[in-house]
Amino acid sequence: MAEDVKSAQTPAAQIDDDRPVHVEEPLPPEVQAPLAEFEGREPPSPQWFKDAIARAPERVFVESLGSRLEVLTWGQVGKPGLLFVHGNSAHADWWSFIAPFFADDYRVASMSLAGMGASDWRERYSFTDFADDAEAVSRAVGLYEGGRKPTYIGHSFGGGQVFFAAVRHPDRMHAAIMVDTGFGPPPEEMARRAAEMERIRNIPTTDRPSRVYPTMEAALLRFRLMPPQPAGNPFIADFIARRSLKTVVQADGSTGFTWRFDPNMWAKLDRERAMSGQFGQEGGVSTPMVHIYGAKSRIVEHRKAGAPSPFPPGMIEIEIPDAHHHIMIDQPLALVAAIRALLAAWPPHASPA
């Protein structure tokens, strides 16, 4: 999520399928501004959603590498642990209507990565640090207390972090579930998009930060998903969008709203170890892993077009019908059912804590 943004890739096969750059071409209204028709009002929502968000999490901060990280938790310590990780420019609440479905049987945590949500911003970001942060969070909130290591579940960029941690630190997790995680388009498309980026000059930077909106309603009108897609369930998009904003006081003393993520995260991200052709080939992958993807996702389009992927051969993949990249918005209950089924029957052999 971000205002006026879409995805693009730098000229390397890496996990940045939802990297933000500003859109110049027109998009359909339902993609350009999926919440505009509601004019700041909350869209009507079904009872299952109301019941899920009524199970409010405990909100805490965990210290890692000198930063305070936002963490949401559900369920009792002592049950098997689940760690949910969000995508780029997102936050822990992207999972807060999904996680309650697991809280009766698991100790569940959803973290905001450094530079996103209410977590601290850093001068530098790296996959190695994100992996250490996930471990620190898991230890701090009791995900190891259920008799086995936690299962990590990550969406998009967060799925990239889960995959990286699973390859580099298989001793830290029971299993890894990636949700619509991509590794960049084919080389010819990457070259074309790299050229496009050279022509784009209005990406938020230190001297050109994210826009401040005078009201929550004005900000919601600018919310859209990246990669661009319709919001399958507007009530979920609205819930996410409201929690993507923070209040700021401007130089003239007036109050406004802006997005919570660090607009310079991509400029600060060390992508040396994020290349799919590197960290996926270090002696194979021993962590059990599964990929869940949307049938209409751009990830599928890239894979069919020959995009590189470090996923191990023969890895289980599950398609969610009628879902784009943001499966938790398009088909949340189908995603819950898929994860529940996996946790009940997979992996076949439990790993010791």
On the CB side of 112, CA atoms within 13 Å amount to 30
- Residue 278 domain flag: yes
- Domain range enclosing 134: 14-28+54-203+263-345
Any domain includes 245: no
Domain containing residue 147: CATH number: 3.40.50.1820
pLDDT of residue 198: 42
Contact 70, 119 (CB under 8 A): yes
pLDDT value for 189: 54
Pair 107, 138: CB distance under 8 Å: no
Overall domain count for the chain = 1
Query: Would you say residue 238 lies in a domain?
Result: no
73 DSSP β-pair partners: 58, 109
Residue 244: inside a domain, yes or no? no
Instruction: List per-residue pLDDT tens for the chain, 353 residues long.
Output: 444 433 333 223 344 455 554 444 578 999 999 999 999 999 999 999 999 999 999 999 999 999 999 999 999 999 999 999 999 999 999 999 999 999 999 999 999 999 999 999 999 999 999 999 999 999 999 999 999 999 999 999 999 999 999 999 999 999 999 999 987 655 455 445 544 444 443 444 444 457 899 999 999 999 999 889 999 999 999 999 999 999 999 888 899 999 999 999 988 998 765 544 455 444 578 999 999 999 999 887 877 777 778 899 889 999 999 999 999 999 999 999 999 999 999 997 654 44
CA distance 257 to 40: 13
Q: Do the domain assignments include residue 213?
A: no
Q: How far apart are the C-alpha atoms of 220 and 241, rounded to whole Å?
A: 7
pLDDT at 9: 31
Please tell me the pTM assigned to this model: 0.88
For the chain, how far is it from start to end, CA to CA, in angstroms? 36
Query: H helices of the chain, where?
Result: 29-32, 47-54, 127-140, 157-168, 187-198, 216-221, 234-242, 265-268, 276-279, 298-304, 327-330, 332-345
In angstroms, the CA 181 to CA 25 distance is 25
The H or E element that residue 74 is part of is strand 67-74
Three-state DSSP at 173 gives coil
Distance CA 266, CA 203 (A): 10
